[in-house]
Structure 1
């Protein structure tokens, strides 16, 4: 007798990201449908829906849930959930962005999950680099590459994240001149780049001022209404790299701005491209 395949339990952040991505792609869904998406029980889905509703991501419906766009400009969301969402899109963008880096460059990396994907790809290539980052996670990945010099400017760890913000990091960037800045955004609205907090936006501005070349890495879901604090404009950016899920109207808006745009096709397997 053949046994049924063993169910692989997903970590909560991954389950919740799958739920949000399904609702974004397909609209309202029942608990049964969502249980099939995550490969879990209906009771697990109910707990996840309660968590996501309390966190401000969802609105409960009779027997299911509905995704709601962030109603508050200062809505940060959960760090672990942001990392887990749109993972394949971020990986494909990361592979493309890795090709923009050359040996012996100095690069500034913000704490966005798409930048982390890029650094994970570049780390496998082991080209000598100087990496400056406010992300403890990126610093840890970078520290595993013997040919890299890794600099963490300092600051205060934001609750629930591996991100440093505030002094002394901001002042540090005023005294350096890097080759490339890899940066993300919580929202791209027209030509304006925004984040949910003043502190993080201020640090991103300092990072961008300290680099000769600035590359914005954003998945297609980031083209939306602005968040609370602006940190830059697309006119400050040398290249935008995004995925092919971007809506035509957003592509048209980018075409009207004098900025290079690279649209990356999303494929199911990118491991062979990372070597």
Structure 2
């Protein structure tokens, strides 16, 4: 198991339980206590949790601009992301133009597009997703360009903004850092601005967000929840968040994860 994947598992355990001991993490992940301690130190340094004597707990003072590294983010909610992606690819049709936002869940859809051989025109602001889609002879890949964000594969800034203003795509597969209080939010102004441009460039906006994304707001707002056409999430979503979505009149699809009872999709 690579370190980033292991740290993602540690972080998931802490987030799921609220507080956890080193011994509980050792048993849950099947690694040594010294390895767990190193992972906790690394995650605390990133501002993703707080160390306690003999364990860890969720970050009590949330930092709205903090986000996990790309490698750790890819390991979070892996089964949820795969289930969401499996449903999402069924929404795509041959010959469509599809915007792939920079998102670990959206990247899972890109993997399925390649394995299925679906012929589409793909537009993306993510070099990693572009590389995945570029391995298929059935996909035409367009990358608008820009400056690479430090520590990620996401492009930001010129010439991207002008490009997004000149196109009209059939579908946008959108990711977000947080969903709360009827809004989508991100950790940085440039990310939020770019997502708004992609939303404006799409006929249909499909938000792909695992239930862990329903959390307190990040640094800046992207848009109102009612801006999106549809949300695809997993069966761990809370009743309160279901009500929030219903209040905004957004179409919802929930996929089953870990054999948990499914909830009905609502409009």
Correspondence list, 1:60-71, <5 A = 60-68=51-59, 71=62
How far did 1:70 drift? 6.1
**Normalised by the size of structure 2, how large is the TM-score?**
0.94
Show the counterpart of 1:6. Answer: none
Q: Which runs of 5+ in 2 are unaligned?
A: 260-267
Show the counterpart of 1:209. Answer: 200
How far did 1:21 drift? 1.0
SS of equivalent residue, structure 1 residue 245: coil
Instruction: Quickly say closer, same or farther: Cα 1:168–1:265, change in 2 above 3 A.
Output: same
How far did 1:83 drift? 1.3
1:183 aligns with 2:174: yes
Show the counterpart of 1:27. Answer: 18
The answer on whether the counterparts of 1:166 and 1:200 sit within 8 Å (CA) in structure 2 is: no
Show the counterpart of 1:84. Answer: 75
Which residue of the other structure, out of 246, 254, 264, is the alignment partner of 1:263?
254
- Higher mean C-alpha displacement, 53-62 vs 202-211: 53-62
The answer on whether the counterparts of 1:185 and 1:193 sit within 8 Å (CA) in structure 2 is: yes
SS of equivalent residue, structure 1 residue 123: helix
The answer on whether the counterparts of 1:80 and 1:161 sit within 8 Å (CA) in structure 2 is: no
Which residue of the other structure, out of 208, 233, 236, is the alignment partner of 1:245?
236
Which residue of the other structure, out of 204, 218, 222, is the alignment partner of 2:213?
222
1:164 aligns with 2:116: no
SS of equivalent residue, structure 1 residue 215: strand
How far did 1:222 drift? 0.7
Show the counterpart of 1:235. Answer: 226
Which residue of the other structure, out of 124, 132, 147, is the alignment partner of 1:133?
124
Show the counterpart of 1:123. Answer: 114
C-alpha distance in 1 between matches for 2:201 and 2:168: 5
The answer on whether the counterparts of 2:232 and 2:253 sit within 8 Å (CA) in structure 1 is: yes
C-alpha distance in 2 between matches for 1:181 and 1:228: 23
How far did 1:228 drift? 1.1
Q: Which runs of 5+ in 1 are unaligned?
A: 1-9, 269-275
Instruction: Quickly say closer, same or farther: Cα 1:168–1:146, change in 2 above 3 A.
Output: same
Show the counterpart of 1:45. Answer: 36
C-alpha distance in 1 between matches for 2:231 and 2:15: 23
SS of equivalent residue, structure 1 residue 23: helix
Instruction: Quickly say closer, same or farther: Cα 1:98–1:197, change in 2 above 3 A.
Output: same
The answer on whether the counterparts of 1:92 and 1:267 sit within 8 Å (CA) in structure 2 is: no
C-alpha distance in 1 between matches for 2:100 and 2:132: 12
Show the counterpart of 1:94. Answer: 85
How far did 1:109 drift? 0.8
Show the counterpart of 2:97. Answer: 106
C-alpha distance in 1 between matches for 2:90 and 2:205: 14
How far did 1:69 drift? 5.4
SS of equivalent residue, structure 1 residue 29: strand
Show the counterpart of 1:74. Answer: 65
The answer on whether the counterparts of 2:43 and 2:49 sit within 8 Å (CA) in structure 1 is: yes
CA RMSD of aligned residues (A): 1.3
C-alpha distance in 2 between matches for 1:196 and 1:95: 27
What per-residue deviation string (whole Å, max 9, x for no partner) do you get for residues 142-179 of structure 1? 01110110011101111111111111112110011100
